[in-house]
Structure 1
């Protein structure tokens, strides 16, 4: 029975981490599908989510239910600023140049976070009661359940947004054919800003969800962001279902390899499998 309990524990932990990776991967996909670039500032959106949550809780004294949406909203504003002040003024439309521009913006954001919040590691309280409950003998934290429920809700809202709202349909149109979208009067500039806003919201949400179960620092989003990027590649870069599948798959690989092999090599095992998948199917599991 102990073996089954351990397996269930590892699976639940893997799905929880995978949900975070999926949110980050979705942020990468939103910008890529709209503009055609990899936005490496996405990793810092994750860090900023945690930082703004910390500030809301301890600097402003706000309750969690208020501080969390405000933190996500603040990262949305940062995402818009990144597009308006960092990407849009560039006269180059070369994707490689724009990608390097996002790397530079990422470095600047990390420097600002270091100046404002310092280099010391911080912590925030759990979103909900941290007393675990048991399912088939496996101990499950309410925090993990909250992460899964919020992630599932976000995915449902994203589906509704892209299929039932004017802005979502406009973003799909720009992703499909930017020139044709301009011809029919779609404001491409606003759509691009909206893509960065949405990417900021997804990254910030990932940050505020993961922060209560880990330590917080100005560069905490780097490793998480790279795993989200790997999840997007694993699922098929630009594919929303692929981002979800890649995130959950990567989380499960990490958890199971840490549980049955060694926690020292969990990152290695996950990325080795990623490389193997790309050798066999370069476009990812659900790439077209």
Structure 2
């Protein structure tokens, strides 16, 4: 009799344990079902700050989603930020079918790597006219900072997807006061240097004006000397011609005088030939 009572008690206790375990399992499953219907999501949304809960494009994207995209792509590009230009170009070609992020990053960085990736900040979302949004953020590297711009398309089922990622230098408006002063000083020096160079050129040009009259006078003298040489040559030619005529007339007079003296049986001393007329 006692053995039967012990057996019945043992079976009853085992049945109670099984019932209690089943209730606990069902309770756990009920919690999981609630999570599937959005209970966990609601709790997560309540933990977001007011800035992260801000929506854009008719509620299709939140600031928290934009920051998540920035963190995702910044971490991806940060892994290869210290790579060489050849490595970045290879990555750009390898991932070209997925995104143009590495290709644009390689073009911006060039042969001067940015160094190790540190962090990002200054996330902004701007709506575009075609129903998309542009998400910008400042990426901080060891050597310099870059501005990342993601062109994001908004889908009903896929959600926000970055279709293009571009990189560029920080805006001039984000520069510090020291950088602005340095840029202003460089621009001032360039402007003053340009003005002084132009003034020096004008001064040299004006100083050359005094040589113009000297050149003109030299040219006139050269022209006058040339005219004088021409006149002298003409005079010498005339004199030469005149001298030849004189020589010819003297010989002719001597012949005529000798002929007259022979015909008159006298000497050439008794008469003088004063003129000769040619017929």
Provide TM-score, normalisation by structure 1.
0.22
In terms of fraction of residues, the more helix-rich structure is 1
Instruction: Tell me which of the two structures has the higher relative contact order, counting C-alpha pairs closer than 8 angstroms and 6 or more residues apart.
Output: 1
TM-score by length of 2: 0.22
Larger Rg: 2
